[in-house]
Structure 1
């Protein structure tokens, strides 16, 4: 049986109203001890506790203990819901219905990223339903906000079950033709949220993809897809993440931040990725109906071998470069500027339906 408990996480200013608002936290927990905490601020996944093969619980999701932590580190997007459009939009413009649309340029005044200056990660979401296994949050994005046309109503249903499946169903409807590509920006480390770089290198990873989106030096799609076979980007079978990271250490990023084109039939929820941490036995599977997966290794976090200012997270731990990973289900980046990419255009009367299930468990300890 799943329990749903609400408590008060803090107080924040809602940028949509400029009024002070409560930040509510909903914690979903199972009898086996697994739990997930969701905030109304940014529809953020604040905590995700999973047992290892001995039943020991660890929080495997990066985040903060208070509202101030999320404000200080807003550009990390830890656990946040990203929208209207995740990832980058080249030059902050695109054509829609034959007209050019300009959206805010929040990357060096050149490009648009993650919904702009006030994206879905920044607002206080409304609670529209508390259920026996989860909670539903809603945000109404006004017509013209950050430059996007059409009033957009987005509902996210978060749910948990006793088999270790944590699910998100994101649905959106618009009053005028617009673009939508929503994602969740959670960072994970199956050794524990503060375990750091060495345990991350111990992970094994599989992504069901034969291609990645080719990008330029500004991480903007070129419009081409690159085959991954015989390259360090080939995760088509379960391989050592540490080995692959060593293979790309000389690249400009020094790690991974790539969009994988996953091999699934359209609009069917299927397994697209699997991660295993052998030392704890914990594993995580990603099931989705989305055609893409953004995989990154937290290359932007402070380098523990340098004098970078620490990023202090929950329980006072320091989050470090390549101490976590993301597997963000979404459609391809900058899709509105590339006609060969899966469309992200949403018309009135259509339903944007994004489903993702993270299944957690623990493999038996090897003797």
Structure 2
């Protein structure tokens, strides 16, 4: 039986109200000891503790011990819910119902990223339900916020069960035609959140995708899809991540930050990725009904080998470049400007329904 425990995580100023508010933390715990902690600041996943093949628990999610840590490192979006539109919107503009829509250009005054200056990651979400296996958080985004038309009401149900499945169901409704593409920006390391680059290179990864979205030097989509077969981006079978990172070491990114076009039927929750850490036996599966999966290897974290000062996280852990990975379920980036991409337009009367399940477990050391 899953328990739900609430405690106080801190206080912060809600940017939507300009009022001080409590940040609440809810921890979902199974009888086997696996736990997930969510805070109301940004509907953020603050911790996931998973046993290895010996039953030893480790927190496998990067994050911070207090509110100040999240504010200090807000640009990292660790564990946060991203919206109203995740990823990038080229030039901060697009057409909707024949009208020109201009959204905030929060990156170098050139393009829109992750919802703008005050995205869903920066607001304090309301608790609208506490259930036997989880919680429901809600945020109402006003009409015109960051340039997006239509008041948008978003609910996220977080749940955990005894089989190691941690699920998020994101639902949204709008009062006027708008664009919606939400995701969660959690970084993982199955060896432990502070285990670093060496252990990340031990991970094995599979992504069920034959194509990725082609991008330019600013990671803005060109509109083309690139086949991954016989390239370092081919993860169609379980392969060593370290080997693939070495293969892209001379590329401009020196790592992965790509949207994979996953092989799944529309509106069906299916397996799209699997990650295994052989040394601990921990594995994670990603199941979703979304057509895109943004795979990232923490390229923007400090590079110790080049003299960078590590980002200090929970328990004083050092977070460094290539010390974690992220698998973000979503639709394609800049979809509003590419008619061939799966649409992110939401009309009144329609339900935005985004489902993702992270299934954790452990297996013998041999993969």
Sort the TM-score into its range (normalised by shorter chain). over 0.9
Deviations 1:1-34, CA, capped at 9 Å, x for gaps: 0000000000000000000000000000000010
Measure the CA separation in 2 of the matches of 1:3 and 1:201.
35
- Indicate whether 1:275 and 2:281 are aligned: no
Q: Which sections of structure 1, spanning at least 5 residues, go unmatched? A: none
Quote how far apart the aligned CAs of 1:304 are.
1.2
Quote how far apart the aligned CAs of 1:180 are.
0.1
Instruction: For 1:82-93, list aligned pairs within 5 A.
Output: 82-93=82-93
Q: Which sections of structure 2, spanning at least 5 residues, go unmatched? A: none
After superposition, the CA RMSD in angstroms is 0.8
Aligned to 1:223: 223
Helix, strand or coil: the match of 1:163? coil
Q: How many residues align?
A: 367
TM (norm. structure 1) is 0.99
Measure the CA separation in 2 of the matches of 1:101 and 1:217.
24
Measure the CA separation in 2 of the matches of 1:240 and 1:156.
33
Aligned to 1:256: 256
Instruction: For 1:54-93, list aligned pairs within 5 A.
Output: 54-93=54-93
Quote how far apart the aligned CAs of 1:306 are.
2.5
Aligned to 1:8: 8
Aligned to 2:143: 143
Measure the CA separation in 1 of the matches of 2:283 and 2:364.
11
Quote how far apart the aligned CAs of 1:335 are.
0.2
Deviations 1:234-271, CA, capped at 9 Å, x for gaps: 00000000000000000001000000000000000000
Deviations 1:335-366, CA, capped at 9 Å, x for gaps: 00000000000000000000000000000245
Instruction: For 1:2-151, list aligned pairs within 5 A.
Output: 2-151=2-151
Measure the CA separation in 2 of the matches of 1:30 and 1:313.
25
Helix, strand or coil: the match of 1:202? coil
Measure the CA separation in 1 of the matches of 2:30 and 2:322.
30
- Indicate whether 1:188 and 2:177 are aligned: no
Aligned to 2:308: 308
Deviations 1:309-341, CA, capped at 9 Å, x for gaps: 321000001100000000000000000000000
Helix, strand or coil: the match of 1:118? coil
Helix, strand or coil: the match of 1:68? helix
The answer as to whether partners of 2:50 and 2:58 remain within 8 angstroms in 1 is yes
The answer as to whether partners of 2:278 and 2:366 remain within 8 angstroms in 1 is no
Measure the CA separation in 2 of the matches of 1:366 and 1:324.
22
Deviations 1:50-79, CA, capped at 9 Å, x for gaps: 000000000000000000000000000000
Measure the CA separation in 1 of the matches of 2:143 and 2:264.
33
Measure the CA separation in 1 of the matches of 2:310 and 2:331.
33
Measure the CA separation in 1 of the matches of 2:32 and 2:245.
34
Helix, strand or coil: the match of 2:200? helix
Deviations 1:167-225, CA, capped at 9 Å, x for gaps: 00000000000000000000000000000000000000000000000000010000000
Quote how far apart the aligned CAs of 1:305 are.
1.3
Measure the CA separation in 2 of the matches of 1:181 and 1:304.
34
TM (norm. structure 2) is 0.99
